[in-house]
Amino acid sequence: MYQYESRIRYSELDENGRIRLLALLNYLQDASTFHGVDCGMTTGHFREIHRAWFISYWDIRIDALPVDGERILVGTSPHDLKGVFAYRNFWLQDKETEKYFVKADSAWFLVNTDTMLPQKLVPGDLAPYGEQADLLQLGLKTRKVVIGKEAGLAFIGEKTVSREMLDTNHHVNNIRYISAAYDMLVDSGMIGTERYPSRIRAEYKHAAALGDIMEISAAELDGNYLVSILSAEGREFCHLEFSF
């Protein structure tokens, strides 16, 4: 398990005074990178050994939102290995009451950056991160966000990948797809600015790079919003499901 303390900043708030979704998700992502730094598994180390962790799936449950100035605890815990996939819990809590704002589970895989192929994981790949523990017990049962033809997706907009969306793998950072999809739901008028997701599931297919055009389509189905992000050529980048 790994935790760090922080505080919600005014610069992270949206027009409604709530923490921006991108800022909220950044806290979770920072937990795993801080964990790596503190146990020697830095991005520099992985560059040297020609490896990188890529995410396959997020399941994020948002029960409440921290407010401006609130002191928070952010944590993560690796908890399972299955084939090429490693699983991690994430959470965000009120520092004083320990009430959970956010709970999440995720699936990751280790890539050989010379071949860009996943590597079969062994216990030693997780050993530097310490004891494995499924602290949240969210019961992750799938790594898929299935969008069938019956969903009736409609194009709602596009976004060109800019340099500030990239991470150290020179691909669009995983939470940027979530942020882009949510913003496009708002900008297209499918949802109002007052709505904030209570659950987000995201399945990653292929990585978008600088200059790629992300074409975003969406549909409402059974009260949830399904979003597909494709390249202009039809290559799948990400499938998402937002619940409110």
Residue keyed to tokens 């050994």: 49
- Same domain (yes/no): 77, 170: no
- Same domain (yes/no): 125, 153: no
Q: What is the predicted pLDDT for the residue at 135?
A: 95
Q: What is the predicted pLDDT for the residue at 153?
A: 96
Q: Quick count: other Cβ atoms within 10 Å of Cβ 41?
A: 19
pLDDT in tens, 224-233: 999 999 999 9
Question: Of residues 124 and 103, which shows the higher confidence score?
Answer: 103
Q: State the pLDDT confidence band at 24, using cuts at 50, 70 and 90.
A: very high
- Same domain (yes/no): 115, 10: yes
Which tokens sit at 160?
């060109």
Is residue 87 over pLDDT 90?
yes
Task: Locate all alpha helices (DSSP H) within 39-173, ordered by sequence.
Answer: 43-48, 123-126
pLDDT in tens, 123-132: 888 899 999 9
pLDDT average, residue stretch 57-77: 98
| Number of compact structural domains in the chain | 2
Of the ranges 17-31, 49-63, 84-98, 141-155, which one carries the lowest mean pLDDT score? 141-155
Helix (H, G, I), strand (E, B) or coil at 57: strand
Residue that finishes a domain, picked among 129, 162, 180: 129
Residue that finishes a domain, picked among 129, 157, 176: 129
Whole-number mean pLDDT of the chain?
Answer: 95
pLDDT average, residue stretch 199-208: 97
- Same domain (yes/no): 42, 92: yes
State the angle between helix axes of 174-187 and 21-38 in degrees (0 to 180), rounded to the nearest 10.
180
The CATH number that applies at residue 171 is 3.10.129.10
Which tokens sit at 77?
């815990």
Q: What is the predicted pLDDT for the residue at 148?
A: 85
- Same domain (yes/no): 78, 154: no
Measured CA to CA, the distance from residue 190 to residue 23 in angstroms comes to 22
- Same domain (yes/no): 204, 232: yes
Is residue 141 over pLDDT 80?
no
pLDDT average, residue stretch 220-241: 96
- Same domain (yes/no): 84, 166: no
Strands 71-82 and 2-7: antiparallel
Range of the domain at 88: 2-129
Neighbouring residues of 232: CB distance < 8 A, sequence distance ≥ 6: 158, 212, 213, 215
- Same domain (yes/no): 31, 78: yes
Which tokens sit at 191?
């949802």
Side-chain-facing half-sphere of 188: CA atoms under 13 Å = 20
Q: What is the predicted pLDDT for the residue at 136?
A: 95
